[in-house]
């Protein structure tokens, strides 16, 4: 029986492998050897530390705004790790983990949030689309790109990330429908972090799971513990194998929790009580991986300290490099919309110039 059959969302089952105490669920195997597990733990820690730095850069006025990943590292690192050269990531706006995992330099990612459009350009050969702020728009792009690749006979997968809130957008349903009909090689990764700004998951949809929405579109969906790196990887591997072999799309719902604010412009204390956050703390994706690695003598406090120092240095350098890039000309914001500026854009540009 395939994983997707066994974990058909209508059976009410959620794929879990690595338990919060760091042990494997009975009968389950780790999908990775210890060396790679450690490397991915390091990547998750890098992401968390970089995320914390982004928050503090915003608080110091050195960033415009920022949408923190805090808590969702396993969803992104476990899934992006499984992509191959030539595959594409279509992110929303919270995807620092997947973006860095794909090989985009941290400096580039920082530039985007510093307001420099050069931050939207991944280096040649690293296929990460720019941040997509309009909620739910990027699944359509991912399906279109996968369909184009299919028509060209290329075995390319597109992996798109979005939140639980995005599943209420028409775009999401159009993308799912199109992907099902044309059997595109798309992995839809919903990070169900329980909230769309202040709207809780229970007010988002009457479906019991988000994963089950795939069934209506004629393909498989699976719900996984999104704080469990191993479960995310096993589900993504099956989805990727299926997509690559022409079997079409898959919807993965990673059940997780956003520990931080929606963005730096949000105050979650207005809609979320501490009692709600507490039960999620022991489920933290980094904590359980640490416990797992500790049992194997691969993690200890001194190891964590050494790693942290090493990674903080890398982050310091990236911040320095990003801040050394000249601030873009405000006129640039008018330049990339049309080949030739429309009269109203010209008018707005003149107005902006008069105020500078
Ligand atoms: C089309 C559109 N509507 C509204 C917004 C404002 N907005 C930004 S993020 C967000 C919530 C998104 O929630 P979800 O999809 O669950 O992702 P999360 O932020 O939790 O990662 C909203 C409503 C937007 N950016 N785009």
Per-residue pLDDT of 185-221, as tens digits, reads 999 999 999 999 999 999 999 999 999 999 999 999 9
Catalytic residue among 141, 244, 271, 272: 271
Gap from CA of 38 to ligand 1 centroid (Å): 33
Q: Which atom of ligand 1 is nearest to the CA of 93?
A: 21
Which pLDDT band, with edges at 50, 70 and 90, does 6 fall under?
Answer: confident
Any idea which residue has 């479960």 for tokens? 231
No. of H helices and E strands in the chain?
13, 7
Cα 90 from Cα 204, distance rounded (Å): 23
Q: Which atom of ligand 1 is nearest to the CA of 191?
A: 21
The fraction of the chain above a pLDDT of 90, given in percent, is 92
Q: Which atom of ligand 1 is nearest to the CA of 137?
A: 1
Q: Whose CA is nearest to atom 17 of ligand 1?
A: 163
Gap from CA of 197 to ligand 1 centroid (Å): 7
Q: Whose CA is nearest to atom 3 of ligand 1?
A: 135
Gap from CA of 199 to ligand 1 centroid (Å): 10
The fraction of the chain above a pLDDT of 70, given in percent, is 100
Cβ-based neighbour number of residue 340 at 10 Å: 6
Catalytic residue among 14, 53, 94, 262: 262
Q: Residues 136-173: pLDDT tens digits?
A: 999 999 999 999 999 999 999 999 999 999 999 999 99
Cα 256 from Cα 191, distance rounded (Å): 7
Q: Whose CA is nearest to atom 20 of ligand 1?
A: 196
Residues 6+ apart with CB under 8 A from 66: 54, 55, 57, 58, 113, 263, 264
Q: Residues 231-249: pLDDT tens digits?
A: 999 999 999 999 999 999 9
**Can 262 be counted among the known catalytic residues?**
yes
Which pLDDT band, with edges at 50, 70 and 90, does 119 fall under?
Answer: very high
Q: Which atom of ligand 1 is nearest to the CA of 167?
A: 15
Q: Which atom of ligand 1 is nearest to the CA of 164?
A: 16
| φ/ψ bin of 103: left (φ > 0), alpha (ψ from -120 to 50), beta (otherwise) | left
For residues 338 and 294, the model is more confident at 294
Helix pair angle (285-295, 73-80), 10° resolution: 70
Average pLDDT, the chain: 96
Query: Which of 192, 197, 202 for a ligand 1 pocket mutation test, highest count of atoms within 8 Å of Cβ?
Result: 197
Gap from CA of 224 to ligand 1 centroid (Å): 22
Question: What's the token pair of residue 296?
Answer: 């194997």
Which pLDDT band, with edges at 50, 70 and 90, does 223 fall under?
Answer: very high
Q: Which residues of 304-337 are buried (b: 16+ CB within 10 A; e: fewer)?
A: eeebeeebeeebeebbeebeeeeeeeeeeebeee
**Can 271 be counted among the known catalytic residues?**
yes
Which pLDDT band, with edges at 50, 70 and 90, does 281 fall under?
Answer: very high
Ligand 1 shell residues, CB under 6 Å:
94, 133-135, 162-166, 193, 195-197, 258, 262
Half-sphere exposure of 69 (CA within 13 A, CB side): 33
Q: Which atom of ligand 1 is nearest to the CA of 72?
A: 21
pLDDT at 58: 97
Which pLDDT band, with edges at 50, 70 and 90, does 4 fall under?
Answer: confident
Mean pLDDT, residues 65-86 taken together: 98
Which pLDDT band, with edges at 50, 70 and 90, does 328 fall under?
Answer: confident
pLDDT at 19: 98
Q: Is the pLDDT of residue 1 over 80?
A: no
Mean pLDDT, residues 179-185 taken together: 98
**Can 258 be counted among the known catalytic residues?**
yes
Total-model pTM? 0.96
For residues 334 and 288, the model is more confident at 288
Catalytic residue among 48, 258, 288, 290: 258
In terms of Cα–Cα distance, which of 296, 295, 256 is closest to 72? 256
pLDDT at 209: 97
Gap from CA of 249 to ligand 1 centroid (Å): 23
Half-sphere exposure of 51 (CA within 13 A, CB side): 26
pLDDT at 5: 82
Q: Whose CA is nearest to atom 6 of ligand 1?
A: 135
Which residue blocks in the chain are alpha helix, DSSP H?
Answer: 3-6, 34-59, 73-80, 96-101, 106-113, 138-151, 170-182, 213-216, 229-244, 274-277, 285-295, 301-324, 343-355
Gap from CA of 196 to ligand 1 centroid (Å): 6
For residues 328 and 22, the model is more confident at 22
Gap from CA of 162 to ligand 1 centroid (Å): 9
């Amino acid at each position: 029986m395939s994983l997707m059959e066994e974990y058909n969302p209508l059976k009410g089952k959620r794929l879990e492998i690595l338990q919060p105490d760091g042990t494997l669920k009975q009968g389950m195997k780790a999908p990775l050897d210890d060396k790679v597990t450690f490397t991915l733990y390091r990547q998750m820690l890098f992401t968390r530390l970089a995320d914390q730095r982004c928050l503090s850069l915003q608080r110091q006025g050195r960033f415009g705004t920022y949408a923190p990943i805090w808590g969702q590292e396993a969803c992104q690192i476990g899934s992006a790790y499984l992509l191959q050269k030539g595959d594409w990531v279509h992110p929303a706006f919270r995807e620092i983990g997947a973006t860095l995992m794909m090989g985009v330099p941290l400096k580039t990612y920082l530039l985007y949030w510093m307001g420099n459009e050069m931050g939207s350009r991944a280096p040649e050969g690293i296929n990460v689309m720019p941040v997509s702020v309009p909620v739910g728009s990027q699944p359509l792009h991912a399906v279109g790109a996968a369909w184009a690749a299919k028509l060209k006979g290329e075995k390319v997968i597109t992996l798109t990330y979005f939140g639980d809130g995005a599943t209420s957008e028409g775009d999401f349903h159009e993308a799912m429908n199109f992907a099902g009909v044309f059997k595109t090689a798309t992995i839809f990764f919903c990070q169900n972090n329980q909230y769309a700004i202040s709207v809780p998951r229970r007010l988002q949809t009457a479906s019991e799971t988000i994963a089950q929405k795939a069934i209506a579109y004629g393909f498989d969906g699976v719900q996984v513990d999104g704080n469990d790196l191993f479960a995310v990887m096993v589900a993504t591997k099956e989805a990727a194998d299926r997509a690559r072999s022409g079997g079409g799309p898959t919807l993965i719902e990673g059940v997780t929790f956003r520990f931080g604010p929606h963005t730096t412009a949000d105050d979650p204390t207005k809609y979320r009580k501490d009692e709600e956050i507490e039960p999620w703390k022991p489920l933290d994706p980094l904590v359980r991986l640490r416990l797992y690695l500790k049992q194997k003598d691969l993690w200890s406090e001194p190891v964590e300290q050494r790693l942290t120092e090493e990674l903080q240095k890398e982050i310091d350098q990236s911040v320095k490099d990003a801040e050394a890039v000249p601030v873009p000309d405000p006129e640039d914001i008018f330049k990339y919309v049309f080949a030739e500026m429309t009269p109203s854009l010209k008018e707005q540009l003149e107005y902006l110039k008069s105020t500078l």
